[in-house]
Structure 1
Amino acid sequence: MDGDRLADAFAEHGYAWAAADPHEAEFRRWVPGTPELPAANALLKARQGALEKSGPSDDDARELRAELALLGVVVRDEKRRQYWRTHRRSDPA
């Protein structure tokens, strides 16, 4: 599905659509030992190893991304580099 059709489908169902990631400026390049990520550094290190391999490591990278999400860390990949940001969980009303 192309971007225009996807945007139209979102709008048709009352959802907002953004052409670019509204959180793009919040992402920072991950380097081992990032002090803001004490609980996530081991997962990011393992994920980096999975990104550098080819083949079944894709499953590992996806699984580790899910584990990071549980810690409140969003990961974006560019050319086998990891960029991260934290996210706030919304409390159920």
Structure 2
Amino acid sequence: MTLPEPSTVAATLHDRLLRPVRRTLWPFLHEDVDHGDPVSHVLLSLIAGLVAFALTLLAAALVALPTLLYAVVYALLTGVLRLVNAFRYRR
């Protein structure tokens, strides 16, 4: 059994978690306000942008934290396996 590389895990998490969130919230993150818009429209636009940014940030954290933990576990396991193989197959 081989473990997938951390970059593969990160790409998979990005594709499944972050990309759909960013694609869905893209219009709210790039909304324009014209000079003649009423204050209520400006405030709603600002709130929508802040909520969209917070949700995108949360999705990014949901990708980054498991990837970081997996990278640590991957490094520990591969290090232990290399150490075991070094003692098992001495030259």
TM bin, normalised by shorter chain, reads 0.3 to 0.5
User: Greater strand share, 1 or 2?
Assistant: 1
Higher relative contact order (CA 8 A, sep 6+): 2
TM-score, structure 1 length as denominator?
0.33
TM-score, structure 2 length as denominator?
0.33
Larger radius of gyration: 2
User: Greater helix share, 1 or 2?
Assistant: 2
